[in-house]
Amino acid sequence: DAKTTQPNSMESNEEEPVHLPCNHSTISGTDYIHWYRQLPSQGPEYVIHGLTSNVNNRMASLAIAEDRKSSTLILHRATLRDAAVYYCILRGGSARQLTFGSGTQLTVLP
Partner 1 sequence: DAGVIQSPRHEVTEMGQEVTLRCKPISGHDYLFWYRQTMMRGLELLIYFNNNVPIDDSGMPEDRFSAKMPNASFSTLKIQPSEPRDSAVYFCASSFGQKNSPLHFGNGTRLTVT
Site for partner 1 in 11-70 (CB under 8 A): 32, 34, 36, 41-46, 49
Stretch touching partner 1 by CB under 8 A, among 17-25, 53-61, 68-76, 89-97 = 89-97
CB-based contact 22:4 (threshold 8 Å): yes
CB of residue 69 to partner 1, shortest distance in Å: 20
Tell me how crowded residue 67 is: count the other CB atoms within 10 A of its CB.
8
| Pairing between β-strand 45-50 and β-strand 55-56 as defined by DSSP bridges | unpaired
Cα separation, 48 vs 88, in Å, equals 10
- The residue among 14 and 68 lying less far from partner 1, judged by its C-beta, is 68
Question: Which spans of this chain sit near partner 1 (rule: CB under 8 A)?
Answer: 32, 34, 36, 41-46, 49, 91, 93-94, 96-103
